[in-house]
Structure 1
Amino acid sequence: MQTIHETSVPLPSAPSRHAAHCSTCALRHYCLPQGLSSEDVVRLQKVIVNARAIKRGETLFRVGDTFDTLYAIRSGSIKTVVSTSNGNGREQVMGLHLSGDALGLEGFDNGRHACHAIALEDSSVCLIPYVHFERSCRETGAIQRRLLQLMSREMVRKTAQTLMLGTLRADERVAALLLDLSGRLTRRGYAGNEFNLRLTRDDMGSFLGITLETVSRTLSRFQAKGLINTNGKLIRILDFDGLRAI
């Protein structure tokens, strides 16, 4: 897999590959802090170096890379993974991140990234050099509160994942993942009843702590019950109440 981290952050005076205009971005109501004045938005846009395109399968950053940049997904989707500790080369999927989500927050711990971030489809990210973002947090309370909110959101998400793995049956885990994705897409203004699931069945199994075969059987059973309809990566939810009742 290719990685772009080594050349991802140009000097602040360098021209942006794609200008990042928060004020006109379709995700500004989801991504930007609440209560920012127009002057604050302009200040934040100056902090964002550029919007960088990432090809499917490309790696944004790897475990051990220096943490010097925060990322916000502008379009597409990215998975975060870690390698299993038994040395067999398998990867454990830790998260699925959609447009509007922040990436790289785990680097606050020790100044190094603790996971790989890999594009699941052609995507783009806004790059925010940490040194400039930190200064903006000191100058603008709304940006500081947004950072705390993002970190809190990640903690809540990880707690929910731990609870899911520890308490739910396999079919409950699959249903919970589909409903979670539906809700996240709806909050972004997209259709929540029909979407392309960019995770492979193997990735789903890794994330949910079950086998690929179990994922496939469970999705087939949901379809036979009339809960969903699948066509390759396309998922159409037909019965939300039925999924919630699993």
Structure 2
Amino acid sequence: MTARGRTCTTRRNKAGRSRAYPEVCKLPRKKQKLDIEKIKISCQNCTLTDLCLPHGMEQEDLEKLDNIVERNHPYHRGEHLFRPGQKSHALFAVRSGALKSYCITEDGEEQVLGFILPGELTGMDGLAVGRYASASVALETSSVCELPYDQLNSLCAELPGMHDQIMHIVGKEITADQQMLMLLGKRNAEERLASFLLSLSTRYNKRGLSASEFYLPMSRQDIGNYLGLVIETVSRLFARFQEEGILMVDKKLITILKPDTLSSMVDACVKHSLASSM
């Protein structure tokens, strides 16, 4: 157990040092028995409350929210929460694991739209026309909280803070889309991967996890698809970053050794973009 009471697993890196990893980073494999009581944990006791709920909610309001949340069976790798064109009915908040959001292009190809980590929501696109425009699929065994639209809408009318939080999340998604457009339009392959890794570092850190050492739940193919790069380029960049001492790569375990170097790659691109737009 860690100091915060989380169960951890221990592994050794290439240097032979032991390292403990909270279960939120790497969940039990499909064949392992899951702790159903942990999956059914209430909103009041959830460690991700500060990420997906408005600050300062009273106990009574939390109980109202908890009453509408549905906590179903965990989704295993490859299982879909919803698919494009499916009638929308709920938002989903990730409690553990990781999801991939994607759509299907006119050519029938998969286009990765993003990756959803614990404390983040998916299913927002279903609010527009009553059907999901994208799909969400589990990248590893994942547990989610399901918030039915109709009950959530009634609760938002009763709790203004909840409505404000939903609007805040929508605003963050719009900002993320804008940043992604700049990422694809202005940055080279090196800068794209650096931005992606720094973004994951920040998001993991907000969850109380290490900002410098984390597990990648997505494949190199998915990373390339998301960043607009072929898988060979992604693999080559990971190898190069490791050779230059920027990262240590052990399959899907990433250790950022020189975060300032990654930041300088991104900062240089941002400055160039600002200068070219003036």
Normalising by structure 2, what TM-score?
A: 0.80
Give the AA of the match of 1:220.
A
Question: How many Å apart are 1:169 and its aligned residue?
Answer: 0.4
Equivalent residues of 1:56, 1:120 under 8 A apart: yes
Unaligned 5+ segments in structure 2 are 1-36, 266-278
Question: How many Å apart are 1:216 and its aligned residue?
Answer: 0.6
Following the alignment from structure 2 to structure 1, what is the Cα–Cα distance between the partners of residues 250 and 70? 39
Greater RCO (Cα-Cα under 8 Å, separation 6 or more): 1
1:76 aligns with 2:97: yes
Following the alignment from structure 1 to structure 2, what is the Cα–Cα distance between the partners of residues 77 and 215? 20
Give the AA of the match of 1:72.
A
Following the alignment from structure 1 to structure 2, what is the Cα–Cα distance between the partners of residues 134 and 17? 27
Following the alignment from structure 1 to structure 2, what is the Cα–Cα distance between the partners of residues 75 and 169? 32
Following the alignment from structure 1 to structure 2, what is the Cα–Cα distance between the partners of residues 84 and 195? 31
1:79-114: CA deviation from partner (whole Å, max 9, x where unpaired): 011112123xx3111001100001100111111001
The corresponding residue for 2:273 is none
The corresponding residue for 1:7 is none
Question: How many Å apart are 1:20 and its aligned residue?
Answer: 4.5
Pairwise CA RMSD of aligned residues? Answer: 1.4
Give the AA of the match of 2:45.
T
The corresponding residue for 1:29 is 50
Following the alignment from structure 1 to structure 2, what is the Cα–Cα distance between the partners of residues 51 and 34? 26
Following the alignment from structure 2 to structure 1, what is the Cα–Cα distance between the partners of residues 57 and 226? 36
The corresponding residue for 2:88 is 67
Question: How many Å apart are 1:18 and its aligned residue?
Answer: 5.1
Unaligned 5+ segments in structure 1 are 1-15
Equivalent residues of 1:65, 1:112 under 8 A apart: yes
Following the alignment from structure 1 to structure 2, what is the Cα–Cα distance between the partners of residues 124 and 64? 23
Q: Percent identity?
A: 37
1:159 aligns with 2:178: yes
Distance 1:80 1:196, change over 3 A: same
Equivalent residues of 2:39, 2:143 under 8 A apart: no
1:215 aligns with 2:215: no
Following the alignment from structure 1 to structure 2, what is the Cα–Cα distance between the partners of residues 114 and 176? 26
**Number of residue pairs aligned between Structure 1 and Structure 2:** 229
Q: Secondary structure at the match of 2:129?
A: coil
The corresponding residue for 1:203 is 222
Q: Secondary structure at the match of 2:60?
A: helix
Match of 1:43 among 48, 52, 64: 64
Normalising by structure 1, what TM-score?
A: 0.90
Question: How many Å apart are 1:51 and its aligned residue?
Answer: 4.3
Aligned pairs for 1:1-246 (under 5 A) are 19-87=40-108, 90-246=109-265
1:64-90: CA deviation from partner (whole Å, max 9, x where unpaired): 111111100010000011112123xx3
- Deviating runs (4+, > 6 A) in structure 1? none
1:123-168: CA deviation from partner (whole Å, max 9, x where unpaired): 0000111100000000001111111011111111111111100100
Give the AA of the match of 2:105.
T
Q: Secondary structure at the match of 1:171?
A: helix
